[in-house]
Amino acid sequence: MDFLADWLYLIIGILVVGVLAVAGLVVSRRRGAAPTAPAPREVPTGEVPTQIPDQDVTDLDAGAAPAVEAEPAPAAPVLDKPEGTQSRLVRLRQRLAGSQGALGKGLLALLSRDKLDEETWEDLEDTLLTADIGVAPTQELTERLRTRLRVEGSTAADARAVLREELINLVDPTMDRRLAVSGEDGNPGVVLVVGVNGAGKTTSVGKIARILVAEEKQVVLGAADTFRAAAVDQLQTWGERVGVPVIRGAEGSDPASVAFEAVKQGVVENRDVVLVDTAGRLQNKAGLMDELGKVKRVIEKQAPVTEVLLVLDATTGQNGLMQARVFSEAVNVTGIVLTKLDGSAKGGIVVAVQRELGVPVKLVGLGEGPDDLAPFDAEAFVDALLG
């Protein structure tokens, strides 16, 4: 019996050892095996997956890049909305009344004296001359005032009415002050802007563009003042603010070629107006005349020049008149842009320059703002003078 018991214990031990060995082998295999990857998520149609599962990488075509989300398109630049003509005229009256009122008040004070003697008329002439009206217009106005007040009376109300009427006549309301920006035979209107550097010429070109854009005209700017890089960059900025293209060339390039390309683009794109900013150098009259003449001749191979605007600084007085003479000899000036009128009590330059050139003041600059350029109105100007 003891023999059988020993064999039974031996067999049980062998079975236990075998079971333990098999169990250990299974555990070791499980520890060395790689973990099973989760099944890929189904991506709904139209959705770009943010991450591609590892097991799908081998399924991609060689060299193919994973899909990425497209960047949003840049927002279109916000363009300025220039002021219309009516709001500009309102500010014309306000600005001129503030800066030019001293002239009108001085004249009214003299004409309202109890006795209009020779000393009074001499003082009135001095006041007009100081305001840059000019000698001939001053003498003409004085004589007309003397005659009318002697006949019609010299009360304060009479004096004001007579002075207003005579000043309006002196400024000449019959002149056509509209900008000639309408071309013929399907061509755009072409406006040359001339003047010395420092008078506000390039700035005036930008402001005129704003006036035309406010009138819903399609405009092209030509940066033909090629010898001043700052002028070209300045004009580029003005154009960008209202969505107007600017044709420019390399610094120092031929101004006539830039003007030609600007008009060419205006013709091809069926634009309404081409504004050309020209060089304002005054080293010598002959050089200026040659350059401006060449620019105009080259432009007119494509379209006639419909307007030549001369930009003058209202504060320069008689020096401004000398500049006006030079430019009028170089090119046929058809209108005047008078800048910085708001900062001067010498509003008489309007009369003097019109008499000198025989052409009207069409636009006046009222300040530094982008829309501080307004169509000139004779009655509004005189009413502002008189307050």
Binding residues for GTP: 195-202, 277-281, 339-342
Q: Are 236 and 226 in contact (CB under 8 A)?
A: no
Pairing between β-strand 246-247 and β-strand 307-313 as defined by DSSP bridges: unpaired
Binding site membership: which residues? 195-202, 277-281, 339-342
- Cα(44)–Cα(201) distance, integer angstroms: 63
Residues 380/93, Cβ–Cβ less than 8 Å: yes
Tell which residue, 357, 366, 282, has the closest CA to residue 325: 357
CA–CA separation, 314 vs 320, rounded Å?
Answer: 7
Identify the CA nearest to 310 among candidates 280, 281, 345, 340: 280
**Of the candidates 164, 177, 160, the residue with the CA atom closest to the CA atom of residue 363:** 177
Q: Which of 343, 315, 310 is nearest to 327 (CA)?
A: 310
How many other CB atoms sit within 10 Å of the CB of residue 71? 6
* 383/305 Cα distance (integer angstroms): 34
| Separation between Cα atoms, residue 106 and residue 101, nearest integer Å | 8
